Amino acid sequence: MSQLDLVRESFKEVEACSDQFAELFYRNLFEIAPQLKQHFAHVDMATQGAMVVQAVRIAVGGLEDFDQIRPTLESLGYRHANYGVKPEQYEVAVDAFIRSLQEILEGGLDDDLEQDWRDVLTKITSTMSEGEKQVAQRLASRPRPFRNEEGESVEIDAYTSRFMPVDTDDHSDLYADIDLAEYPRSISVEYVGEKMASAAPLQTILDVSLQNDIAHTCVCGGIAKCSTCRVAVLEGLDHCLPRNQAEKLMARRKGFSPELRLACQTRIIGPVKLKRLVHDQADINAAANMGRDQVGREMPLAVMFADINGFTPFSENNLAYDIVHALNRYFDVVGGAIDENEGYIDKYIGDGIMALFGLNRGRDIHLCIDAVNAAIGAVSGLEKVNEYLRSHLNHEFSIGVGIHYGTAIVGEVGLVERRQFTAIGDVVNTAARLEGEAKSRSVNILISDAVLNELPAGMFKFGPALELSLKGKTGKQSAHEVLLSSLD
């Protein structure tokens, strides 16, 4: 058998117990060079170990056509350099690998096979070491049509953060299931509106961009310290390896949905179709200052609008202090009912309030039930406010509430200095129209058919169905009054 055949044959035993081998490798590495352990303080070692085995697999499998796997090894070398790994430390890694092989093969690693492995590993690590310089040069020489600046990331307030999604999935087990032998040596990457490119398995998207003269913005130099290299993966997300630790931290901080990936960290194992999202200085500034969920996403929501009937005469006949004081007492009651039912107070609009239900996806209760319970709680709780208003201002409030259910787009919008998380779409407009109809008809709560269809039979009581002509909607729209007697 040839040198390469012997190496490949012995590597089969490594693959058969890849988890054990990865654990052995890092144990031996840290025993030989304890100072290296600091580089892995915040790294998921199960994922890292699986990646080591995968990297060796693709390298051993491609030694006969080394130029095809060279870009992958260069990319890994650049990543290691950013972790703080020095070129001379690759020799230590080779020793740790050989020691781990000896333990796995249980005496099956003779002097000749050990030398064969050292030759192969030295070729791999020297390419990785040189690759760090090659990638750095490509980053330094890439087209720069604009200045690179990175601002501070905007963190959302504690209230809004309660309703933001958090990716708690580990995904590390997925690495172990990847068999790169099943994938082609050349992978197609389509940059929508730009060009087609080719890549080697396990290259990052940024690597592919640099090799194909695509002016891919990357302020931090490819170390996941900014998010300016972000892309939207339109097709082939299953051909992208799961987020590593560095990308996962950025995705959580920025609130990225699954298809939004950092090009500098995302490694591909199959064809993908993507779109670059940062193109000029304005995009860079927006990316640097983007808070969580500034990127838009679609999701089902129940939207509630509530407004005070006849507030204008009240405001015209009372002192400014009394008006603000009365409004705050009113908002405490309505806002409390919304909060008790896991609703998100989107905004205050004069004497009105807009709330979203369904952002907290961990609820067992359907979001439409939450919305209706909040509306009932707001209307019934208003009596406490009215007791105060009758005693001190000779007035009382009544409100109209409209609720609609459907798909909305959520995200942060507005001037950079005053961005706000909100929802937009037809579901929002329809809820606002229903609130206006509730006020004009002197009913407390109106819900749409879409809401009614999600409510369990017998949970609430309703008045006769109404056929309404809502502004901006064609034809008649069915609505239903929620009767407060449902509290009895």
For residue 150, pLDDT over 60 is answered with: no
For residue 370, pLDDT over 70 is answered with: yes
- Is residue 208 within 8 Å of residue 274, measured between CB atoms? no
Kindly list the distances between the CA atom of residue 243 and the CA atoms of 15, 238, 249, 378, in Å, as whole numbers in the listed order: 23, 12, 9, 43
- Residue 348 φ then ψ, to 5°: -105, 135
* Residue 240 DSSP label: B
**Domains of the chain, each with CATH number or no CATH:** 3-141 (1.10.490.10), 158-288 (3.10.20.30), 297-487 (3.30.70.1230)
Kindly list the distances between the CA atom of residue 206 and the CA atoms of 2, 82, 83, 261, in Å, as whole numbers in the listed order: 36, 15, 17, 11
| Residues with Cβ within 8 Å of residue 80, at least 6 apart in sequence | 128, 132
- The arithmetic mean of pLDDT across residues 51-73, rounded, is 79
Q: Which of 95-99, 198-202, 312-316 has the highest mean pLDDT?
A: 95-99
Q: Return the percentage of the chain with pLDDT > 70, whole number.
A: 83
pLDDT band at 153 (very low <50, low <70, confident <90, very high): very low
Kindly report each contact of residues 246-250 with a partner whose C-beta sits within 8 Å and lies 24 or more positions away, as own/partner.
248/167, 249/224, 250/224
For residue 439, pLDDT over 60 is answered with: yes
Task: Give the pLDDT confidence score for residue 175 in this predicted structure.
Answer: 42
For residue 205, pLDDT over 90 is answered with: yes
Q: What is the pLDDT of residues 280-307, one digit of tens each?
A: 666 556 555 554 444 567 889 999 999 9
- The arithmetic mean of pLDDT across residues 410-434, rounded, is 85
pLDDT band at 43 (very low <50, low <70, confident <90, very high): low
Q: Return the percentage of the chain with pLDDT > 90, whole number.
A: 35
Q: Which of 272, 149, 131 is nearest to 210 (CA)?
A: 131
Task: Give the pLDDT confidence score for residue 413 in this predicted structure.
Answer: 80
- The arithmetic mean of pLDDT across residues 92-116, rounded, is 90
CA dist 349 and 108 (Å) reads: 76
For residue 2, pLDDT over 70 is answered with: yes
- The arithmetic mean of pLDDT across residues 226-246, rounded, is 88
CA dist 1 and 476 (Å) reads: 81
Q: Which of 366, 331, 371 is nearest to 348 (CA)?
A: 331
Q: What is the pLDDT of residues 372-389, one digit of tens each?
A: 999 999 999 998 889 988
For residue 156, pLDDT over 60 is answered with: no
Q: Which of 102, 104, 126, 125 is nearest to 114 (CA)?
A: 102
Task: Give the pLDDT confidence score for residue 284 in this predicted structure.
Answer: 57
For residue 140, pLDDT over 80 is answered with: no
Task: Give the pLDDT confidence score for residue 376 in this predicted structure.
Answer: 96
CA dist 16 and 76 (Å) reads: 24
Task: Give the pLDDT confidence score for residue 431 in this predicted structure.
Answer: 95
For residue 212, pLDDT over 80 is answered with: yes
Task: Give the pLDDT confidence score for residue 69 in this predicted structure.
Answer: 79
More confident site: 41 or 425? 425
Q: What is the pLDDT of residues 311-362, one digit of tens each?
A: 888 888 888 988 898 899 999 999 999 999 999 999 999 889 999 999 876 7
For residue 174, pLDDT over 50 is answered with: no
3-state percent breakdown (helix, strand, coil) of the chain, nearest 5: 50, 20, 30
What's the whole-number average pLDDT of the chain? Answer: 82
pLDDT band at 149 (very low <50, low <70, confident <90, very high): very low
Task: Give the pLDDT confidence score for residue 213 in this predicted structure.
Answer: 85
For residue 148, pLDDT over 50 is answered with: no
Length in residues, the chain: 488
Task: Give the pLDDT confidence score for residue 162 in this predicted structure.
Answer: 72
Q: In which residue are the tokens 């909607």 written?
A: 473
More confident site: 185 or 201? 201
